Amino acid sequence: MFSPTGIGKSAPKILALTAAASQSQFSQLRPESSGSDIPDTVASNLNLPVARVLTPAEQQACFGQAGAAGSQASRTAEGDGPQVRAGVSLPLAAGPTFWTLAARTRNMTSSVIRDLLKLTQRPDIISFAGGLPSPETFPVEAFAQACDRVLRSDDARNALQYSPTEGLPALREAVADSLPWRVDPAHVLITTGSQQALDLVAKILVDPGSKVLVETPTYLGALQAFQPMEPNVVCVDSDDSGMLPADLAAKIADARFLYILPNFQNPTGRSMSEARRAAISDLAALAGVPVLEDNPYGELWFDAPPPAPLASRHPENTVYMGSFSKVLAPGLRLGFLVAPPEIHRRLVIAKQAADLHSSTFNQRVVVEVMRDGFLDGHVPTIRALYKNKRDAMMAAMEREMSGLGVRWNRPAGGMFLWARLPDGLSATRLLEQAVGKGVAFVPGQAFYAAEPDDRTLRLSFVTATPAQIEAGIAALAGAIREALSALPDGQIKQ
C-alpha cells in the first residue's frame, strides 16, 4: 500500500482524485467547480473528476496535524460516490497518464534491420538480413581466460568499479598504437559501441536544420543517430567507388560535417580508391568541413588491405570511428573514436551525460585479450572465413540469378553484397514472397536519406553456412521468377 506521509503538500489532492478515478466504474463522477488545480473546462473535456477540499478535521484524520496545517486534501463532490476514508492508504493507480513526447521524437524511426531480426529468429528462415558478425569468429576461450585473469588479479574489484569517461588508459593506448598514423592516446575516447560515437557527434555538432552530407546510400544506423537532432541530411551522388567529388564540391558549402564509410561500406560493400579518398579528404579540408569517418569493417579485407584512412591525411579535420564488434564480439558494446582536441572535450562531456563511461569490466577484458598480439592471429581467421562465404554467395548468385536481370557487386571485404532487381520489381514487395520461401534480406530503400531506390537490396553472407547460402539464394531466385512472371507483360526487364 502507498502511504501519503511526506509526499508533498499537493499529494492529498492528487491521491483523492486518483482514488475517485479508480472507482469511476462504480459511480459517475460529474465535473463541477471546486478547489481542484485542474480547470473545470479541462476536467470536463477529459472526463476527469473534480474534487472538493476536505474539512480540517478530515485532513487531520487522514494525514495528521502537519498534513492538516500544510496540505489540502480532497474527495469527490458526489454524496454517495467514492470518498477518501480516514486512516486508509490509497493505491497510486487508475487515472490516465498523459505522456507529452518531445517534438524530436517525430524524427525517431525504428530500424528495419532490427525489426527484421525478430522475423529471422525463426528456425525455418535463412537470413541474409542481419548485419551481424558470425558467432564462429567469437574467441570464447580467449575471453574465458581473460575474464579469469581480470577477476583473479590484485585489483579485480577495480574492474567492477566506475572508471574514467574517456576510457581506461591501457585501452586508449592500445587503440592509438593500432592505427596507421600517429595518434595521441589523449585524443581517443572509448564509446559504448561505435553507434554511440555517431550519437555523440550528432549531439555536439548538429542543430535543427544543419546540413549533414552522406553517401548514397548510407548506413541506416547513422541516419537514426542523426535524425533526432533534426538535421537537413543531403545525399551526395555516389558510384561503385563511393562519393563523387564533383557532386560533393557542389553541395559542401555550409555543411556541419560529411559522414563517410570508405571501407566495405554498409550497405553496399563498396570501397573507395586511393585517388577518391585523397580528393574527398582534400576537398573537405579546403572547405573547412569536418569529416566523420566510420571504419568498422576495415580489417575485414580478403585479398589486399584498403588504402589508408582519410583521417591519416587530415587528422585535424576528421573524427575517426572504429569498433571491436567485428574483430572480437558485438556483445562487448565497445567502440572508439579519435577526435581533434578542439572537440574531444565536448564529446567527453556528452558521453558523461549519456552513460558516465563504457563498461569498465569489458574494457579490462579487451585489454587482456589484446595482449601479446592476439588480434594479429585472430583477424586473419575471420578474413578467411568471410572470404569463403563471399565466394559461396558469388557462385550461388551466378548460378541461380542467370537470365533474371539481377545485378550485383563483388565486395573485396566486409560482410555485405549489394544487388539491384530488374525494372518493374520492388525489393520491399519481394521480401514478403521471399520470406514465404524461407529466406530474408533487407530492402535497400531503408539506406537512402532521400529518393530511395526500391529495386536495391542488401545480402549479408557471413552468418549463413555455404549450404544455407546455396539454398537461400536458390529460394530468392525462385521468388524473383514468380515476381517477374506477375509483371503485366510477363517479360524480364533489365
**Radius of gyration of the CA atoms of the chain, in A:** 29
Decide which of 3.40.980.10, 3.40.640.10, 1.10.1040.10, 3.30.2010.30 is the CATH code for 153-372.
3.40.640.10
Exposed, middle or buried, 24 (CB in 10 Å: 0-12/13-18/19+)?
A: middle
Q: Give pLDDT, residue 47.
A: 46
pLDDT value, residue 352:
98
pLDDT score at 64: 56
Print burial letters for 412-428: b (CB count within 10 Å at least 16), e (below 16): bbbbbbbbbbbebbebb
Which of these, 353, 319, 352, 360, lies nearest to 337 by C-alpha position? Answer: 319
**DSSP assignment string, 194-251:** HHHHHHHHHHHH--TT-EEEE-SS--HHHHHHHGGG--EEEEPPEETTEE-HHHHHHH
Q: Which fold has domain 111-134+376-485?
A: Aspartate Aminotransferase, domain 1 (3.90.1150)
Check residue 148 and give its pLDDT.
98
Cell numbers 569489458 correspond to: 362
CA distance 235 to 149: 48
Domain ranges of the chain: 1-98, 111-134+376-485, 153-372
Count H helices, E strands: the chain?
Answer: 15, 17
- pLDDT reported for residue 41: 41
d(CA 177, CA 447) in angstroms, rounded, equals 33
Same fold, 111-134+376-485 and 153-372: no
Place of cell 549533414: 212
pTM: 0.80
Q: Are the C-beta atoms of 108 and 227 separated by less than 8 Å?
A: yes
**Half-sphere CA count of 248, side-chain side, radius 13 A:** 27
Q: What is the pLDDT of residue 167?
A: 98
pLDDT of 99:
87
Listed residue (323, 113, 307) closest to 219, CA to CA: 113
Q: What are 442's strand-pairing partners?
A: 458
pLDDT tens-digit profile, the chain (494 residues): 334 334 344 444 433 433 443 444 333 433 344 444 434 443 444 444 444 455 666 556 555 554 444 444 444 434 444 444 445 454 555 678 888 888 888 878 776 666 666 766 788 999 999 899 999 999 999 999 999 999 999 999 999 999 999 999 999 999 999 999 999 999 999 999 999 999 999 999 999 999 999 999 999 999 999 999 999 999 999 999 999 999 999 999 999 999 999 999 999 999 999 999 999 999 999 999 999 999 999 999 999 999 999 999 999 999 999 999 999 999 999 999 999 999 999 999 999 999 999 999 999 999 999 998 999 999 999 999 999 999 999 999 999 999 999 999 999 999 999 999 999 999 999 999 999 999 999 999 999 999 999 999 999 999 999 999 999 999 999 999 999 999 987 555 55
